[in-house]
Amino acid sequence: MNPLKNLKRRPARSALTIAGITMAITMLIIMLSIGAGMRESAASLVYDSGVDIFITGEGGNPFMGGAMVYNGTEMAREIKEENPDIRGVVASLEGISLFVSSGSLGRDNIAVAYFSGSLPDEDAQLRGFDIIEGSDVPHKNSDPFRNSTYYQSWNLTPEAFESPEFTGECTISDALAEELKIGPGDEILVGTGMDMNHTIRLKVYGIFTVAYESPDTREVYTHISELQYFLGLKGDPINAMYVDLYDPSKAGDVKEWIEEKYPLSAMSREEFIGQINRFMDTFQGFSMMISTITTLVGIIFISTIMNIAIRERRKEIAAMRAIGISQGTIVREIVLEGIAITLVGFVFGVLFGTLGAMALESAVSSTKNLPAGFQLTKITLSLLFEVFLLSVSIGILSSLAPARWSTKINISKALRGD
């Protein structure tokens, strides 16, 4: 008995069996590669942001969405000044959805963009974006309007937007610039509604890209006090702080200090990545369910086919037993035949699974919905080794029942053809 020769005896049957295993392995590799790719890429983007600690309001979750923190910019300054381990803190009001026009009020010329107002700390290298055209805003590390009498007394009046303290400075993402066909030096009209009744004008100084955002993300960065004032958000509210440490290994201690001293919820970079991994565990669980179903179906399918094949060869097996070949040898050959079937399926499955993962990566990347550098799928040696072990296991388990049946063959009856 030769495992490979036995496969050639019934080529059509063997081909269908291998095709079934190939499809299962292909699906499994694609599913596992998606989990591996998303997990690694998400972690990489978090590290690339340079943030050591993510902060939001007490009870909020920096991963799922921040709660408001009032008197936020002053609190951010205080946190930095009181802890020598902190290099800098960026206070941010973000995720505000507003309508933007390049100047005219035609509905065809209006886009929805996410606004972020921030008070950057010049000592902190956090959530940085690359200016690809123009320059950053002139008052990057200051917030002039915060000292305006309009802001200090919270006197909401249209004249405030014409005051010298109101800079009207902003930078916009390349996706928004492309949609509105504007660039540095142009003005944008910002409104709270589609009717654009309540609007301000901002001057665009630069076009930026951010590694952790999708290329299709339409964003505007402006001064936090000016955004707060325009939206009527009194009390200096923010919904996020980003902490840069001199020594990232002290993130745990600094996080505990922040939560003990302030009504805030903090999360270290490693905890943030852990949240991502727990979110991905749901997808991984789905992949494991598919793996289990694939294994069971593969075992039943191959076992049935092999059982039929072994019964067809019972006279040959009886003859081998008659000339002195042991039961152990026959069982070993049957098990090797099962492994051979699954390994051939594994080889084709790896080929088609890799091609499928590459095709999926290419299709998703072409939509420009993923951040630059984000890899949806990733096939690693450890992933292939896991699938290899699963394939061998399927081959062994599926051949046990046929091998056991071969040991019960009555040699004399089989040789007579009974």
Taking only the tens place, the pLDDT of each residue in 93-146 is 988 899 999 866 555 578 889 898 887 665 555 655 788 899 988 988 788 999
CA distance 95 to 221: 11
Spatial distance between the Cα atoms of 104 and 97, rounded to a whole number of angstroms? 19
In terms of DSSP H, where are the helices of 10-160? 11-48, 72-82, 149-152
Buried b (16+ CB within 10 A) or exposed e, 162-187: eeebbbbbbbbbbbbbebbebebebe
In whole angstroms, give the CA distance from residue 369 to residue 372: 9
- The dihedral through the CA atoms of 186, 192, 196, 197 has a sign that is negative
Question: 256 in a domain, yes or no?
Answer: no
- Tell me, yes or no, whether 64 lies in a domain: no
The mean pLDDT of 235-252, rounded to a whole number, is 91
In the chain, % of residues over pLDDT 90: 26
Share of the chain above pLDDT 70, in %: 83
Q: Provide the H-helix boundaries in 224-368.
A: 224-231, 251-261, 269-312, 314-322, 327-366
For the chain, what is the domain count?
2
When mean pLDDT is compared across 26-35, 71-80, 217-226, 231-240, the lowest value belongs to: 26-35
Predicted local confidence at residue 38, as pLDDT: 75
228 and 282 belong to one structural domain: no
Residues 97 and 229 reside in one and the same domain: yes
Query: At 378, which helix (H) or strand (E)?
Result: none
pLDDT at 84: 94
Whether residue 338 contacts residue 302, with contact meaning beta carbons closer than 8 Å, is answered with yes
Average model confidence (pLDDT) for the chain? 82
- Say if strands 199-209 and 264-268 run parallel, antiparallel, or are unpaired: unpaired
Residue 408: domain span:
3-45+274-416
Same domain, yes or no, for 311 and 230? no
Residue ranges of alpha helices (H) inside 153-194 are 174-180
Residue 100 lies in a domain: yes
From 193, 210, 238, the end of a domain falls on: 238
Q: Which residue has the tokens 């923190």?
A: 69
Instruction: Tell me the pLDDT tens digit for each residue of 36-91.
Output: 887 777 777 777 677 889 988 887 776 666 678 899 999 999 999 999 999 888 88
Is 232 found in the same domain as 98? yes
Q: Give the least confident one: 11-25, 289-303, 314-328, 363-377.
A: 363-377
What is the model's pTM? Answer: 0.67
Q: CA torsion 187→190→196→200, rounded to 10°?
A: -80
Phi and psi at 377, nearest 5°, equal: -120, 150
**190 phi and psi, to 5 degrees?**
-115, 130
